[in-house]
A and B are shown apart, each in its own frame.
Chain A
């Protein structure tokens, strides 16, 4: 006997408008308006954290000074991705293959995850390579993480 499977489709999604909060707002505004990266330093352990946030989780105290970071850094890890993940801001799939990487900006304790502009070839990308943030032109920036186009190798590619 054939079993009929019953399921109910639903199309309504839960809408959100997330507040960036005071720390992330300053980070995103500096990036958009001045093309600069800012981290925040813990007054106790001295870590410069990015994204900036209210407390140092390790020391349980409020973070202190804002520190301007260099747009250059070191690639700490990467993956050449063959999975067409959905861009949640457009609903469209990323064109494969593309490269995700983690970059430690010079002077920062934390790393940042973003796209790496390299030929998707395991011979052309390596951990430890030097990279630089490439931002969208000022007039195209909207105040979110897509204001960074990608990180590009310095002098190697």
Chain B
């Protein structure tokens, strides 16, 4: 398909702007732009171009999307309608507080609901995504120790099963990462943890349920060990969809948490963003939250704040979607969502685990991780091959090769918004592919077979980067 630049013809127009009748001012020549080569297209061609692109995209609305760790649940349409309200869209971030009372009230409602759900005392909605929340949380922890005269507490303990953003967010704040191993149940190894904590420990950064989809049974012991060593406990809330109304991180020893509204709270992921990554904390850390915070009387600043982690306040429209979702779901609905997320994951696992190896054979939470190492050893068919083959059945592949501690990992997260039939069909397809791996491994050489392109040459993309359209070079050179 052509890139939009190739559709361009001189003097074609889509949007036309009114002449305001003022023309007398001149910019000096040195400042004036000489040339700007943006596409020139008519509206109908613009629309058809993007309709063409939309046919080559796949969202939750297109089909089953069990992408582990991403909580690709259905995104209710009412949320989009709410976010499009003029009273939310057409307000300037620097309007006087007295003219944005509704916005402040709404943000406060969201903060309060998230505090209640997580067992935290204070919340900021500022961060724009999960990793941004982690970054903010690490700043809060660092600020806490620095301002309490303990700058030497500069190590963050992170399990080897953690998402890559965890160590990266810690390191961005000058914190040293100490990795701890997982035990034979997929949880934190208590002995390794005991050995890792000490007078340099700033925090433990933990995902629970962890990235294997398992709830750590020793969780209270884990947070106790860290606290006893003088460290704080950080909760990566990527997996909160498993425990809403069932476990509150604040009740089991966590001091700081980030959430992903674009996962747990049903706001759409937009092909990569925008998201929202609120950060909650216990009251003794609240004064370090990024400024401004929304208190009883609107925006407030604290002298002890870490500062500002982004312009203005938050991804406001994303927050409005999440708030709408929370209102519809309520305490009862959120709990039901988590229950069904866990049920659906266990149901799917139950339907395939007689033939696929599960990384840790336990009752899982909202997701599970298969290891296809044995399949690969016996047939040559890899986790990636099976994942890509799913595309021919209009099932979005699970997360591949994560967490790093599982060989040939495939991580499935079906979410609560899928039917039993969808899970049954996915299980059937997976069983079918498993059979094929043994009967006809050659089948996987060309997967996926039905998509518009297949097996993009990633090595070539990285070795010989073509990162923008250039007029003179052939597009497919």
Our verdict on whether A and B bind, yes or no, reads no
> Interface on A for B, CB 8 Å cutoff?
none
